[in-house]
């Protein structure tokens, strides 16, 4: 289980209704729990979390995305449960004590992010982004040939919760799906053919849609570089909803400007926010959204976040292994 404190206290920052608080109280058994979340934030696009000063010395577990520097102010903290899937800022050395447990909300965002990616794919296939940009100028003009996903191939790089959801959506419209993950022996729903990262260069040339769903690691930084982008089909579409640094932004901008690919759909960029002088903003074939594919845009996402945290509180109270545990770096 990691660090062990005899006297435990859970600080719960989730914006819970009274009935949900009752569920958490039952799940925690005899472990005291302080509910500090603001229930009025329910339904907002983002939640805030903070451990009250009087609880910092006592908290052994925190549920919520507190500021990373706040972790060090909680000397007994042995478990942090986030409501995000990405936990990069908490994995850095010195944020959490060695032996601490860090768990995330993987499994909550697959539907929301994959549907956003799917919508962006359709928009570029049907030139909707071009028509939308033309509306302010009252341009009644054909944007040219559209394409259908039927019979096309989607290469899904990163086949966890989000990638697998996206692959299933692609299958529903007649696409063949190829998945890439670290262990290709592990199957994922919606993926026809699974391969390892070492085979990426062998399949890029066959992909009509390249969907990036990878976390930020040294191995994934600029995974899609200039050389790999140059190997793509001229009608290919790049979608990124994982981490912005998985794509070399300048190489992507050059490929779009030179007409070497059909388009790009980016919900994440490098850096964020994307600077105003980035050529990607001015590229008509690039559709950009400000990292909003996840968040709390779907009500079911909120319910899944709460269910994941509730399950882990139950495990914490029973001394069992926690779900969605993430490694600490350094």
Q: What pLDDT, on a 0 to 100 scale, did the predictor assign at position 5?
A: 60
Separation between Cα atoms, residue 116 and residue 300, nearest integer Å: 15
**Predicted confidence (pLDDT) at residue 148 exceeds the cutoff of 80:** yes
Confidence class for position 214, pLDDT limits 50, 70, 90: very high
Separation between Cα atoms, residue 154 and residue 238, nearest integer Å: 10
Q: What is the mean pLDDT of residues 41-69?
A: 96
pLDDT tens by residue, 21-36? 999 999 999 999 999 9
**Judging by DSSP bridges, how do beta strands 10-12 and 79-81 pair with one another?**
unpaired
Residues 6+ positions from 326 with CB-CB distance below 8 Å: 87, 90, 91, 102, 103, 104
Q: What pLDDT, on a 0 to 100 scale, did the predictor assign at position 330?
A: 73
pLDDT tens by residue, 235-279? 999 999 999 999 999 999 999 999 999 999 999 999 999 999 999
Neighbours of 35 (CB within 10 A): 18
Q: What is the pTM of this model?
A: 0.92
**Predicted confidence (pLDDT) at residue 286 exceeds the cutoff of 90:** yes
Q: What is the mean pLDDT of residues 50-78?
A: 98
**Predicted confidence (pLDDT) at residue 2 exceeds the cutoff of 80:** no
What value does the mean pLDDT of the chain take? 96
Q: What pLDDT, on a 0 to 100 scale, did the predictor assign at position 46?
A: 87
Q: Which domains does the chain have, with CATH numbers?
A: 10-108+298-326 (3.40.50.720), 110-288 (3.40.50.720)
**Predicted confidence (pLDDT) at residue 3 exceeds the cutoff of 90:** no
Confidence class for position 116, pLDDT limits 50, 70, 90: very high
**Predicted confidence (pLDDT) at residue 66 exceeds the cutoff of 90:** yes
Q: What pLDDT, on a 0 to 100 scale, did the predictor assign at position 4?
A: 56
**Predicted confidence (pLDDT) at residue 308 exceeds the cutoff of 80:** yes
**Cis omega (within 30 of 0) for bond into 135:** no
Closest CA to 106 of 303, 324, 327: 324
Confidence class for position 1, pLDDT limits 50, 70, 90: very low
* Angle, in degrees to the nearest 10, between helices 110-125 and 161-172: 40
Total length of the chain: 330
Q: What pLDDT, on a 0 to 100 scale, did the predictor assign at position 329?
A: 87
Report whether 45 contacts 296 (CB < 8 A).
Answer: yes
Q: What is the mean pLDDT of residues 79-89?
A: 95
């Amino acid at each position: 289980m990691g660090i062990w404190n005899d006297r435990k206290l859970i600080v719960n920052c989730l914006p819970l209704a009274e009935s949900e608080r009752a569920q958490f109280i039952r799940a925690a058994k005899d472990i005291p729990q302080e509910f500090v979340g603001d229930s009025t934030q329910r339904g907002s696009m983002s939640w805030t979390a903070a451990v009250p000063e009087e609880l910092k010395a006592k908290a052994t577990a925190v549920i919520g995305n507190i500021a990373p520097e706040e972790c060090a102010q909680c000397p007994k903290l042995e478990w942090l449960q986030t409501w995000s899937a990405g936990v990069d800022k908490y994995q850095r050395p010195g944020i959490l004590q060695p032996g601490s447990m860090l768990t995330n909300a993987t499994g909550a965002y697959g539907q929301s992010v994959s549907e956003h990616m799917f919508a962006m794919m359709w928009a570029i296939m049907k030139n909707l982004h071009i028509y939308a940009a033309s509306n302010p100028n009252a341009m009644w003009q054909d944007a040219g040939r559209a394409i259908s996903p039927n019979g096309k191939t989607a290469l899904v790089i990163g086949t966890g919760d989000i990638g697998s959801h996206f692959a299933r959506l692609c299958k529903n419209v007649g696409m063949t799906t190829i998945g890439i993950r670290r262990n290709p022996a592990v199957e994922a729903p919606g993926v026809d053919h699974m391969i390892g990262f070492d085979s990426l260069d062998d399949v890029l040339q066959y992909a009509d849609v390249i969907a990036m769903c990878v976390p930020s690691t040294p191995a994934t930084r600029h995974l899609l570089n200039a050389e790999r982008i140059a190997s793509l089909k001229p009608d290919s579409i790049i979608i990124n909803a994982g981490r912005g640094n998985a794509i070399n932004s300048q190489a992507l901008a050059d490929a779009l400007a030179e007409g070497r690919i059909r388009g790009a759909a980016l919900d994440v960029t490098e850096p964020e926010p994307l600077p105003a002088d980035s050529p990607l903003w001015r590229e008509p074939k690039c559709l950009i959204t400000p990292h909003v594919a996840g968040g709390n845009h779907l009500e079911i996402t909120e319910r899944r976040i709460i269910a994941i945290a509730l399950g882990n509180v139950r495990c914490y109270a029973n001394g069992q292994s926690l779900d969605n545990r993430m490694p600490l770096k350094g």
